[in-house]
Amino acid sequence: MTKENTFFGVKEIARRANVSIATVDRVIHNRSGVSEKTKKKINDIIKELDYQPNILASRLASKKIISLAVLIPKVSAETDFWEAPLNGITRAEAEIKKYGVQIELFFFDLNDPNSFNEQAGLILEGHFQGVLLSPSFIEEARKFSEACHKLKIPFTFFDSDVPEQHNLCYIGPHLFQSGYVGAKLLTYRLKEKQQVAVVNISKETDNYNYIQIEEGFRSYFKDHSLPGEILRVNIKDTDSLSVTRQLTKILNDNENIKAMFVTNSRVSAVATFLEKSGRSDISLIGYDFLKENIKHLEKGFIDFLICHKPEEQGYRGVMSLYETLVLGARVEKVHFMPIDIITKENQAFYKN
């Protein structure tokens, strides 16, 4: 059992073109030093044979390493969400290290746009061949990506998107539709005259992500002409006291609230409140497969969690750069993640 020679290599191309391997190599990497005539001849043969370079041999022979930069929020005390993408990134790194790819991590503070700028500046000075970033701050991200574009450094957005043309690709959820799914689940068993509240627990209420999610959520109500006003609760202070106070007030003012939708991973704060105040009659839906959330899911105070595979986002984000830079493959410009539904019953088998 020996490898069949179905694949042609540079050697065969060189033979057919009556040139040396080196000349073929020059054409493939379009380096200079080849006459237009021979170049065309070789390119024709390459097309004819549908030549696919042997990546094994290529990476083996190449002494170059490829350095990628990753720019993401640091894991904070407030939420350990960013652990998951980081795991995916690390997994990808381990997988492609042997192909000569290195990854350097840069972290910024989600409460401080300046830290984003600082780290972005370091990346621009660092001579990286590719960048993966979460554009949490839209304006800052836009400036940075403009700079990358000028330096011809490919970059991938993930977790959330920025309307932009120059990025290599976006990997993340379709946020509008995600909110839409949330509304479906929340209203699935809702009875008439029961009311619904959207809860946003965050210092930045006007974050682009939250807006998209809420639009999707409200659209579902419109599309299905569900009656009743959807209440909106903004909790800017994320400490448990503020949360308790605001939720208490809302529930007192609106006795018919029987379902709540939290637009981010802070849903566990609401669950804690519901548990303490003994309100097991309220359906609760929120985001992300975090330990704290799973705990409340198991206790029954969260009905569903929606999740967009953050670990896989990190993994695929790195891989999108690897595929373009090393394999020279084209990648899809937009790669939407599934909108996963997690319940107490299936959470044990969920892959983040």
Q: How far is CA 330 from CA 13, 168, 172, 322, 333, in A?
A: 24, 9, 18, 11, 9
257-262 and 283-287 beta bridge pairing: parallel
Give the residue among 305, 300, 271 at the shortest CA–CA distance from 182.
305
40 makes contact with DNA (CB under 7 A):
no
49 makes contact with DNA (CB under 7 A):
no
Given the rule CB under 8 A, which residues bind a copy of itself? Answer: 1-4, 54-57, 59-60, 63-65, 67, 98-100, 173-174, 177, 180-181, 184-185, 188-189, 220, 336-341, 343-346, 348-351
**Which window, 16-24, 140-148, 152-160, 234-242, contacts DNA (CB under 7 A)?**
16-24
291 makes contact with DNA (CB under 7 A):
no
Pick one of 40, 44, 57, 114: the residue that binds DNA (CB under 7 A).
57
Contact partner at residue 67 from a copy of itself, DNA, none, CB < 5 to 8 Å by partner kind:
a copy of itself
**Which window, 25-33, 113-121, 178-186, 203-211, contacts DNA (CB under 7 A)?**
25-33
- Least distance from C-beta 7 to a copy of itself, angstroms? 8
278 makes contact with DNA (CB under 7 A):
no
304-307 and 340-342 beta bridge pairing: antiparallel
Query: Which residues neighbour 67 within 8 Å (Cβ) at sequence distance 6 or greater?
Result: 101, 102, 103, 104, 126, 127, 128, 129
65 makes contact with DNA (CB under 7 A):
no
Give whichever of 10 and 267 is closer to DNA, judged by the CB atom.
10
- Least distance from C-beta 327 to DNA, angstroms? 11
Residues making up the chain, counted from first to last: 352
96 makes contact with DNA (CB under 7 A):
no
Strand partners, 235: 201
3-class DSSP state of 157: strand
Region for residue 236 given its phi and psi (left: phi exceeds 0; alpha: psi -120 to 50; beta: otherwise): alpha
Pick one of 1, 4, 30, 36: the residue that binds DNA (CB under 7 A).
36
